[in-house]
Amino acid sequence: MTSRPAIGPDVLTPGDTPASAVAGSRTPRRATAIAVARRATLVGWALLVPALLAYVGFVIWPLIQGVQYSFYDWNGVGVATWVGFDNYLRVFTDPDLLGAIRNAFLLIAFFTVIPVSVGLVLATLIRSMKAGAFASISQTILFLPQIIPLAAAGIAWSWMYAQTGAVNQILSGVGLGWITRSWLADYTTALPAVGLIGSWVLTGLCTVLLLTGIGKIDVSLYEAIRLDGAGWWREFFTITLPGLRQEIAVLVTLTVIAALSSFDIIYTSTQGGPGRATLVPGLSIFRIGFTQSDVGLASAFGIVLMVLILIVVLPIQRLSRTESR
């Protein structure tokens, strides 16, 4: 089943220069110009080769391999048997795997909805931050979670959520001692708790990006609508939201992908538990492939995950593109 990355050289052949163009040249000068252009095309393609080799060899080829694996029953060492679409059928019928997909979609609420909404509220309220010490310090702090590995965020928050951790300490401090618990060990709170780690990571990025976006909106638009006597809501829906369409589309795309393909945070905080309460596709693929050695099923789930992300993300892209005209 395994093989070395055979990179098809056919992908890399230079684009054909139309022969007619060459034949049609009369004057020597034109011939030189065409020769130059032809050489440029050749050089251009030569420059593309290394990047294409890396991309095809380590992304496209593995992807094709993954598709191939997904049609076999294989434990990684023995003989592989062709099973057709059985693995895909199992992805869509196994309650554990369906649960993982469901969890991934639920995480969108925490990875996308919360960060983008909070970012929007903050951005509209602050609108334009005057450049200064406070603004730059805020920006730096809001960006900290972007620099920290997600795996470390998982560790930091497992301690925050622990029975003796800061979350319970703060809750007790404000008189909510009765709801304290070990948040990641509780079946009902584990998924939201893990989701909020994602909110923590992504809110800063969303806020700063939306603030930058709102700063680009023409101030006179706001002045005009205020003179018109418009309230906060109308201002928000007629000026701010349309003005930030591009940024919002970008952030939604980015954060939805982060939610559906989450792995690091879950791996270091809950390992998918308790039970399967926080199991996500990424962790499932990892377990099925390497712990249970069911390579076919894991590969099929990988392909399904990729297609799911495409299905969710492509419409957002189209939306932002057509509307921005």
Q: Does 295 bind another protein (CB under 8 A)?
A: yes
Q: Which residue among 19, 23, 51, 133 contacts another protein (CB under 8 A)?
A: 51
Q: Does 285 bind another protein (CB under 8 A)?
A: yes
Q: CB of 289: closest distance to another protein in angstroms? A: 5
Q: Residues near 114 by Cβ (< 8 Å), separated by ≥ 6?
A: 196, 199, 203
72, containing H or E segment: strand 72-73
Q: Does 217 bind another protein (CB under 8 A)?
A: no
Decide if 66 contacts 299 (C-beta within 8 A). yes
Q: Half-sphere exposure of 73 toward its Cβ, with a 13 Å CA cutoff?
A: 7
- Report how far residue 54's alpha carbon sits from residue 1's, in angstroms, rounded to the nearest whole number: 21
Q: CB of 93: closest distance to another protein in angstroms? A: 20
Q: Does 65 bind another protein (CB under 8 A)?
A: yes
- Helix, strand, coil: what percent of the chain each, to 5? 75, 0, 25
Q: Does 80 bind another protein (CB under 8 A)?
A: no
Return the number of the residue (223 or 323) whose C-beta is nearest another protein.
223
Q: Residues near 16 by Cβ (< 8 Å), separated by ≥ 6?
A: none
Q: CB of 5: closest distance to another protein in angstroms? A: 6
Q: CB of 24: closest distance to another protein in angstroms? A: 17
Q: Does 229 bind another protein (CB under 8 A)?
A: no
Contact region with another protein (CB under 8 A), list: 23-31, 89-97, 183-191, 208-216 = 208-216
Could you give the C-alpha distances from 185 to 65, 182, 269, 270, 304, in angstroms and in order? 38, 6, 10, 8, 29
Q: Which residue among 34, 113, 126, 185 contacts another protein (CB under 8 A)?
A: 126
Q: Residues near 182 by Cβ (< 8 Å), separated by ≥ 6?
A: 161, 162, 163
Q: CB of 137: closest distance to another protein in angstroms? A: 8
Q: Which residue among 83, 97, 184, 205 contacts another protein (CB under 8 A)?
A: 205
Applying the rule CB under 8 A, the residues between 160 and 199 that interact with another protein are: 160, 162, 164-166, 168-170
DSSP H stretches of helix in 216-240:
219-227, 232-235
Applying the rule CB under 8 A, the residues between 247 and 266 that interact with another protein are: 247, 250-251, 254, 257, 260-261, 263-264
Q: Which residue among 106, 230, 313, 319 contacts another protein (CB under 8 A)?
A: 313
Contact region with another protein (CB under 8 A), list: 81-89, 91-99, 236-244, 302-310 = 302-310
Decide if 160 contacts 167 (C-beta within 8 A). yes
| Residue corresponding to tokens 């928000």 | 236
Q: CB of 89: closest distance to another protein in angstroms? A: 18
Contact region with another protein (CB under 8 A), list: 21-29, 79-87, 182-190, 281-289 = 281-289
Residue 154's closest CA among 198, 123, 189? 198
Q: Which residue among 85, 92, 187, 290 contacts another protein (CB under 8 A)?
A: 290
